[in-house]
Structure 1
Amino acid sequence: MDEFLSSRALSASGMKAQANRLRYVSENIANADTPGYRRKIAPFEQVLENGRPSGAVQTGRVELDQTEVERIYDPSHPMADDTGHYDGTNVDLVIEIADAREAQRSYEANLKMFDQSRQMSRSLLELLRR
């Protein structure tokens, strides 16, 4: 029975990590037109228990994407420098949408595993009652 609980905990950690990832993707999309905004990336890390990998995952410390930001020419913009340029953003909507789909599919896969484990433990309890 302990295996069912641990498999559900692993699936739940995956769902939580993907939900966090989706939150950062949505922040990136919301700020796609914000001058000077850098894309946020949330790497995954293994959860350690007693110094050993438990199989669970979590989002690590949020990092800012270090790719070059777009330089935009608009002398009328309030943030423009002496040359008429200002820093745009490094958010690419195509990448963000792909990341959102990947996070959604991974979340759904973890949810399916969670549900399968729950159904298996329920079936086991019914067999033990007989």
Structure 2
Amino acid sequence: MTDFSDAISVATSGMKAQASRLRHVSENIANTDTPGYRRKAITFEEMVNLGRPTGEVAVGQVRLDRSELSRIYDPAHPMADAAGYYQGSNVNLLIEIADAREAQRSYEANLKMFDQVRQMSTALMDLLRR
């Protein structure tokens, strides 16, 4: 029965990790027009138990994208310099939408795996009851 619980743990950790990724993507999208905002990205780390990989993932450190901030010309903006430019964000909506779709699909794959393991364990219990 531990194989079933291990599989459920792997799927659950994947869903948690993708939910966290989606949270950061939505934060990036919400701050697209925020001056000086740097895009956030997360990494995933493999969990280890007693020196052996478990197959589970955990959210690693949140990193700020160090790519150059966009320069926006708007002399009326309160943050504009003497030349009329201010620094926008480095969020690219196309990348964020692609990341959101990838996170959603990965979440759905983990959910499907969770559901399959649950169905298999239920079927096994039904067989054992006979």
TM range (shorter): over 0.9
Shift of 1:62: 0.5
- TM-score scaled by length of structure 1: 0.97
Q: For 1:61, what is the secondary structure of its paired residue? A: strand
Residue matched to 1:44: 44
Residue matched to 1:31: 31
- Separation in 2, partners of 1:84, 1:48: 52
Unaligned runs of 5+ in 1: none
Q: What is the 5 A alignment of 1:93-112?
A: 93-112=93-112
The aligned amino acid for 1:101 is R
Misfit runs of 4+, over 6 Å: none
- TM-score scaled by length of structure 2: 0.97
Aligned positions, number: 130
Shift of 1:81: 1.3
Q: What percentage of aligned pairs have identical amino acids?
A: 66
Q: What is the 5 A alignment of 1:2-81?
A: 2-81=2-81
Q: CA RMSD in A?
A: 0.8
Report Cα offsets for 1:9-59 as digits up to 9, x if no partner. 000000000000000000000000000000000111111212322110011
